[in-house]
Amino acid sequence: MNIDSLKQVCRGPVIAAGDADFAEAIHGNLWNRLIPDRAPDAVVKAADEDDIIAAVRFARANGVKVVVRGGGHNWCQPSLRHGGILIDLQKLTKVLSIDAENRRAVIQPIISNRDIQKALKPFGLAFPTGHCPQVKASGYFLGGGMAWNPTVWGLGVESLEAIELVTAQGELIKSSATENPDFFWAARGAGYGFFGIITKYYLKLHPLPKAIHGSTYYHRLEDAPAIGAWLGELAPTMAPSVELSQFIVKAPTELKDTASGQNGWLCMVTASAFEDTRDAAEAALRPLEKPPVRPLSKSFATPLDFEQLFDASGSLFIEGARCRVEATYSNHSPGEMMQAVLPLLPKAPSASSVFLFTIFCGPNIPAPRKDMARSMSAKVYGGPWTMWQEAKDDQANTDWHQAMITTLRPYNVGYYISESNSVERPASVVESFTAEKWQKLSDLREKHDPDRVFFGYFDGLADK
């Protein structure tokens, strides 16, 4: 591959293996600092759509594979492959338009969940973004979009109306349910195996709820199974506007003494109600005021905005950490799963780890739709997020994480492709889809990228 020729056709920087800034180019914006030993032959930091087109056409002409990086937040770093060209989209950061009257917006792919909501707030509008403030639109949509307010707004991709993308042939096209629909179907949930590079997203917006309120409860670690069982029974009777989660976290400062006998762990329950009046929010949250076990501390129906929601979510998933993650779907009681892992929790080697279940509220669990690749649906979503700081602690945390996911695996019905270790366990990719949708994805890839210009789910990832 002639790197000089690639540099001539791209406006943005092209950095080759061996260049002084190559390590920073391939590792600098990765969220997970547990970095694998995989590297491309070159990185194109695309300045615009023309650079993407030029890089894809160059790769196609030279028999070189392409992989795409959006925000670099995927925990198992599938944007790092052995060889090929990494096209980095980190410069595509604009909100291109907001049509408040018609509740529409157009964005580039590298805008964070936090920044989307911040741009829409002055117009009294919102979008079903994801929870982690730093995650960019690119990976969020490709994963299907686990959103705030999910049982009212639905998945993020359900409020996606169209995309623009560069195909494996190096053509810029628009795709929607009626125009080039194959790409639109796949882009909504295919994850990092998508056979194109999305450059624009067309969003359908929603009115910003006027009364977002949240409640938080802390319980002893040993009470987590009883609380989980109660939440599992309560959730179907609660208002769909409530987003309900049960965590195992390290105790806040004021409760550290209480949790000292359990390695600092406590059970935390959070609930956010997305309503338009305080009375409605309080009514939606009030069923949580009667737990089977008295909490150690609580706060009820505190007014919130998206900035505060992002701050709270971001504080749980720390930047600059070494991470292992396994996010799964289950129809079992969260209490049953809490009971299964309870013996392992006091043995956790890291103080940064989080164990989470989100329990969908209301009588109707969001069902998988046929018009998108996104497949999984269940009563409960979550798993262990194992995070630590030092390389010397890699093995201890890896072993503990493995024990957690092995214990939970019998309860799983599927995986979230954007938050599971599909590199080390490739079966997690297939198990992120129904059999029918997995076959359709495979057929569409064969149809639209027969020459395999884009790296797929599995190639270029194995240890050498």
Higher pLDDT, 114 or 352: 114
SS (H, E, C) 407-435: HHHHHCCEEEEEEECCCCCCHHHHCCCCH
Long-range pairs for 61-67 at CB < 8 Å and ≥24 separation? 62/1, 62/2, 64/1, 65/452, 65/453, 65/454, 65/455, 65/459, 65/460, 66/197, 66/453, 66/454, 66/455, 67/40, 67/454, 67/455, 67/460
* Pair 398, 270 in one domain: yes
Whether 447 is in a domain gets the answer no
Where b means 16+ CB within 10 Å and e means fewer, 314-323 reads: bebbeeebbb
Q: Give the CATH number of the domain where residue 376 resides.
A: 3.40.462.20
Q: Are 114 and 307 in contact, with CB atoms under 8 Å apart?
A: yes
| pLDDT reported for residue 352 | 85
| pLDDT reported for residue 361 | 86
Q: Give the CATH number of the domain where residue 185 resides.
A: 3.30.465.10
* Pair 199, 215 in one domain: no
Give the percent of the chain with pLDDT over 70. 99
Structural domain that includes position 294: 211-428
Where b means 16+ CB within 10 Å and e means fewer, 95-121 reads: beebeeeebebbbbbbbbbbbbbbbbe
| pLDDT reported for residue 158 | 94
Whether 406 is in a domain gets the answer yes
Q: In the structure, what pLDDT confidence band is assigned to residue 463 with cuts at 50, 70 and 90?
A: confident
Q: In the structure, what pLDDT confidence band is assigned to residue 80 with cuts at 50, 70 and 90?
A: very high
Lowest mean per-residue pLDDT among 91-95, 105-109, 272-276, 312-316? 312-316
DSSP string, 81-111: -SSSEEEE-TT---EEEEETTTTEEEE-S--
* Pair 112, 60 in one domain: no
* Pair 293, 270 in one domain: yes
* Pair 325, 247 in one domain: yes
**Residue in the block written with tokens 């209490």:** 335
Q: In the structure, what pLDDT confidence band is assigned to residue 263 with cuts at 50, 70 and 90?
A: confident
Residue 204: pLDDT above 90? yes
Angstrom CA distances, 402 to 68, 336, 344, 397, stand at: 29, 19, 11, 8
Cβ atoms within 10 A of the Cβ of 347, count? Answer: 12
Quick check: helix, strand or coil at residue 364?
coil
| pLDDT reported for residue 116 | 97
* Pair 55, 159 in one domain: no
Lowest mean per-residue pLDDT among 51-55, 217-221, 260-264? 260-264
When divided into structural domains, the chain yields a total of 3
Whether 344 is in a domain gets the answer yes
| R_g over Cα of the chain | 22
Whether 395 is in a domain gets the answer yes
* Pair 124, 218 in one domain: no
The DSSP symbol for 391 reads: G
**What is the arithmetic mean of pLDDT over 389-394?**
96
Over the stretch 358-381, which tens digit does the pLDDT of each residue have? 988 887 776 667 899 999 989 999
Whether 445 is in a domain gets the answer no
Mean pLDDT for the chain?
94
Whether 452 is in a domain gets the answer no
The pair of structure tokens assigned to 425 is: 């366990």
Residue 168: pLDDT above 80? yes
The pair of structure tokens assigned to 450 is: 């027969």
The phi and psi torsions of 161 (rounded to 5 degrees) equal -100, -25
| pLDDT reported for residue 1 | 73
Angstrom CA distances, 450 to 171, 173, 195, 447, 456, stand at: 15, 18, 10, 6, 11
Higher pLDDT, 420 or 58: 58
Which of 45, 69, 88 finishes a domain?
Answer: 88
Q: Give the CATH number of the domain where residue 71 resides.
A: 3.30.43.10
* Pair 240, 319 in one domain: yes
Angstrom CA distances, 45 to 9, 11, 80, 345, stand at: 12, 9, 14, 42
* Pair 203, 215 in one domain: no
| pLDDT reported for residue 368 | 67
Residue 230: alpha-carbon gap to chain centroid: 27
| pLDDT reported for residue 460 | 95
**What is the arithmetic mean of pLDDT over 264-274?**
96
Which of 57, 88, 119 finishes a domain?
Answer: 88
Instruction: Tell which residue, 134, 138, 130, has the closest CA to residue 163.
Output: 138
Q: Are 256 and 238 in contact, with CB atoms under 8 Å apart?
A: no
**What is the arithmetic mean of pLDDT over 29-35?**
94
State the pTM of this model: 0.95
* Pair 82, 109 in one domain: no
What whole-number distance in Å separates Cα of residue 446 and Cα of residue 454? 11
**Residue in the block written with tokens 């780890």:** 353
**Residue in the block written with tokens 């709270």:** 312
Whether 124 is in a domain gets the answer yes
Lowest mean per-residue pLDDT among 76-90, 340-354, 381-395? 340-354
**What is the arithmetic mean of pLDDT over 444-459?**
97
Whether 309 is in a domain gets the answer yes
Q: In the structure, what pLDDT confidence band is assigned to residue 318 with cuts at 50, 70 and 90?
A: confident
* Pair 269, 383 in one domain: yes
Residue 464: pLDDT above 70? no
* Pair 112, 151 in one domain: yes
Q: Are 247 and 355 in contact, with CB atoms under 8 Å apart?
A: yes
Quick check: helix, strand or coil at residue 271?
strand
| Residues in Cβ contact with 73 at an 8 Å cutoff, skipping those fewer than 6 apart | 31, 132, 134, 135, 136, 139
**Residue in the block written with tokens 């909490």:** 295
What whole-number distance in Å separates Cα of residue 227 and Cα of residue 359? 12
